[in-house]
Amino acid sequence: MSRDLETIIKKYKSGRREDLIPLLQEIQDDQGYISEEMIVKVGGFLGLSTTKIYGLATFYDQFRFVPEGKIRIKICNGTSCFLNGSRGVINKIKEETGIRAGQTSRDGNLSYEIVTCMGGCNNGPIIIVNDEYYPHIKPEQIPDLLKKLRYIIEND
Amino acid sequence: MEDLKKFLTSKVLLFEADTLPAETEKVLRQIRREKTDNAVILISSGTASIIAGSEKTWSAVNSYIDDNEPGTDLVRVGCTGPANFEPLLSIQLPGKNKLFFRNITEEKVEPLLNGVFHNDINKDDLVGQHGGRGFELWPGIPFIEEMDFFRYQKRVILGNCGCYDPENIEEYIAHGGYRAFVKAIRHYTYEEVCNIIEKSGLRGRSGGGYPTGLKWKQALNTSSSVRYLVCNAKESDPGAFTDRTILESDPHRLVEGVAIASYAIGAASAIIFFRRGSEHARQRLQKAIDSAREYGLLGSNIFSSGYKLDITIRKEPGAFVCGEETALISTLEGKRGMPQLKPPYPTSAGLFGKPTVINNVETLMNVPLIMQNGPEWYRKLGTQNSPGTKVFAVAGKGRMSGVIEVEMGTTFRTILEDIGDGIKEGKKFKAIQIGGASGSFITSENLDTAIDYEEMRERGVGMGAGGFVIIDEDTCMVDLVRYYMEFMRNESCGKCIPCREGTGRMLEIMESVIRKPSDDDSGTTLERFKGVMQLETIASVMKDTSLCGLGQTASNPFMSALKNFREEFEEHIFDRKCRANICRGLRTFSIDVDKCTGCTACASKCPVNAIYGTRLQPFFIVEEKCIGCGVCYDICKFSAITVK
């Protein structure tokens, strides 16, 4: 894991604060989340205290501090999807999974987040599961979909 | 490939006169696929197309070509506009007009192509033919230029969208691209470029409408050895997808626009601040930048002019407030994206304290066109005070949706009724929401307002970034305002008190308005009334005292909805009724005893056990227990459940 960080860090010069966000983004793209260890290491590299980095990372929506689930769901809650009933979908997913947006389920299988506009406005409400689009999704389809996804994960 | 590069560089980009010799033009026509011996099939490949299944269509067409029509050219192009026609497929047979087909999913490919290649065209999926370029006409097939969706548009910025392969720089050059940039760096000074843009009257498309040429001059006249150009491609309004579509369909023109703007202010580095989540568009843009660098259009000493420029892409880390100029700069500097007090404006002290110009995508897309065609040409478009065109992302409950472009001065009615083709399923029109989460509503009385900075300002409507959401009678305005308030509450950066506390308090009050009333608790009722009385005050205090645009405009949707739909708010507050039947807390259901068969379906599904009865006898709902979720309403097969 730390070797990955070495390869990422090589691209940046040490001590430049403006590289903090791209560096964190790259770590997250690589590992799926930002661990405590990474924050400490980035702090050492850029000469910043860990509280500064943590303070910055929590300000932005993008960064997460727990690993993503194997099933990653993104639910669009842009205006168009909202008008077409995205709230019902969000509530249903919340109810079915028992976790809130941004959290990961205890078994590490599932996480979901709410995003605003994914560019599929005439197909709303729309969700993305592991990079696959599900247009015109209805709340009543959610339980079956989750069951199917869980089945695939468990038998993989 | 190397030969082609040499040819395009010496014979096109470095060619001095405006009109190219016929010989060169002949080669360019081939690159543009206007003159081919084989058929060409173009498939749209934007996000909306991919969602609709265009990649599967692509594979199906590819295998059809391999089996039946080898030699046919298959190309991925950008979006042509109508998102509800995706996946959009167009076919050009040699020497004939291009034909457009809509909603071509993979299973439709084979019959469609069989038909086209054997002169038996299926009219069901046909949109029309693209006319006017001297090719043979298809008899009896309408022209797409005459369709309402295209007829009322003026596609200038979107002119290239859907016409060429966005990942191919040669095609962009063959369409006239990069010549304006090369001409600018070889023949014009910084001031001259600024002057041309100032003369054209181009105004920033982000909402404020600040003259672009003036902004550039301010940065140019600030003495400094380093200057920056930032292209704001953040586009974080919920329900806006114009920038994304532009970048997926025509990334090279943005690169050219950024390059010209950087030259005009003497900046050696430009940054494109990119929206998170538009990965497809980012890849295309990165590819465009890379191929421009290969052609020597970026880098040091560009085309021996001595000018040096590099463009980098930075992904935004996810905060709505970063669309604000000073907050954007903070983010680029690696700090929390919080706005700063202005002045100093970014044009005098911006990124790292250096003069910085921030323009958005749509503004910069205009720049190469103005440099190509001259400021007088641009002045002729649009209105006196607002020249040019405006791009909108039409979405919501309209029959047509997608990215459209109209001349300034067009009315909202034209977009709604002619381009948008009215409301889906024959529902009644209620409002248009423009300007995203801090925008306002256009009602039927204001539909004849022209799209023009001054005229809209007079009516208290902001131009916004390009969201155009059509709302029908099934939408509850109070609920929609609550949605926007929730969005703003989440996105307020927390630096200044009016915005941080105001958005939270307004959301609380909005929520209390749509919550289920409880009889026994008079305290909450009193709280609610007190809150409602204060809503307008909070909104106006936020407007006057917030630090940045986010806070100052956060209450816009509320103010605008209250002005236009006061009766709906009053109904919610006093009568505890929601006319659109959206607000759960205010809905109550009852069972029609004549229709109920006692099947127990509703009672078994009710999450709060509010439905009682005996099997095969009519059931009834206990109103006090009902939470208005509507599960019973959806499940009943006999339509026995009615909303009160």
- For chain A, give every domain's residue range: 2-59, 71-154
pLDDT in tens, A8-24: 888 888 788 999 999 99
Asked if B433 is an interface residue toward chain A (Cβ–Cβ < 8 A), one would say yes
> Chains A, B: CB contacts under 8 A, how many?
112
Contact check, Cβ <8 Å, A79/B467 = yes
CA distance A67 to chain B (A): 18
pLDDT in tens, B495-547: 999 999 999 999 999 998 888 776 666 677 777 888 888 999 999 999 999 99
Q: Using CA coordinates, name the residue in chain B closest to A116.
A: B238
Which string of DSSP letters, residue by residue, matches B413-447? Answer: HIIIIIIS-SBGGGPPEEEEEESGGG-EEE-GGGT
Contacts of B581 in chain A (CB under 8 A): none
pLDDT in tens, B282-299: 999 999 999 999 999 999
The letter for the amino acid at B402 is G
Cβ contacts of B515 within 8 Å, gap of 6 or more: B585
CATH no. for B24-151: 3.40.30.10
Cβ contacts of B223 within 8 Å, gap of 6 or more: none
Q: What is the mean pLDDT of residues B86-98?
A: 90
pLDDT in tens, B260-275: 999 999 999 999 999 8
Residue B148's pLDDT is what?
Answer: 92
Fold equal for B24-151 and B477-575: no
* Whether domain B389-472 has CATH 3.10.20.600: yes
Contacts of A121 in chain B (CB under 8 A): 48, 83, 239, 241, 393, 395-396, 401
The SS3 call for residue A111 is strand
pLDDT in tens, B298-355: 999 999 999 999 999 999 998 899 889 999 999 999 999 999 998 899 999 999 999 9
Which string of DSSP letters, residue by residue, matches A47-65? Answer: T--HHHHHHHHHHSSS--S
Q: What is the mean pLDDT of residues B78-103?
A: 91
Contact residues, A window 24-53, toward B, CB-based 8 Å cutoff: 24-25
Cβ contacts of B289 within 8 Å, gap of 6 or more: B255, B298, B311, B313
- Let me know: does B160 contact B253? Beta carbons within 8 Å: yes
Class in CATH terms, B477-575 = mainly alpha
Best of A20, A114, A117 to disrupt the B interface by mutation (most B CBs within 10 Å)? A117
Q: Among partner residues B317, B337, B396, which is closest to A83 by beta-carbon distance?
A: B396
Question: CATH for B177-379, among 3.40.640.10, 3.40.50.11540, 3.30.70.2470, 3.40.50.300?
Answer: 3.40.50.11540
Question: How far, in Å, CA of A139 to CA of A145, rounded?
Answer: 10
Cβ contacts of A51 within 8 Å, gap of 6 or more: none
Contacts of B352 in chain A (CB under 8 A): 18
ipTM: 0.92
- For chain B, give every domain's residue range: 24-151, 177-379, 389-472, 477-575, 587-643
Contact check, Cβ <8 Å, A17/B245 = no
Asked if A62 is an interface residue toward chain B (Cβ–Cβ < 8 A), one would say yes
Fold classification of B587-643 (topology level): Alpha-Beta Plaits (3.30.70)
Cβ contacts of B120 within 8 Å, gap of 6 or more: B114
Asked if B51 is an interface residue toward chain A (Cβ–Cβ < 8 A), one would say yes
Contact check, Cβ <8 Å, B51/A133 = yes
pTM: 0.93
pLDDT in tens, B171-223: 999 999 999 999 999 999 999 999 999 999 999 987 778 999 999 999 999 99
Fold classification of A71-154 (topology level): Glutaredoxin (3.40.30)
Contact check, Cβ <8 Å, A117/B50 = no
Angle between helices B54-67 and B106-117 (to 10 degrees): 40
Fold classification of A2-59 (topology level): Arc Repressor Mutant, subunit A (1.10.10)
- Average pLDDT score over chain B: 91
Residue B305's pLDDT is what?
Answer: 92
| Residue B238: φ, ψ to 5° | -65, 125
- Let me know: does B476 contact B580? Beta carbons within 8 Å: yes
Contacts of A139 in chain B (CB under 8 A): none
| Residue B251: φ, ψ to 5° | -65, -30
Contacts of A56 in chain B (CB under 8 A): 334-336
- Let me know: does B244 contact A115? Beta carbons within 8 Å: no
Residue B623's pLDDT is what?
Answer: 84
Fold equal for A2-59 and A71-154: no
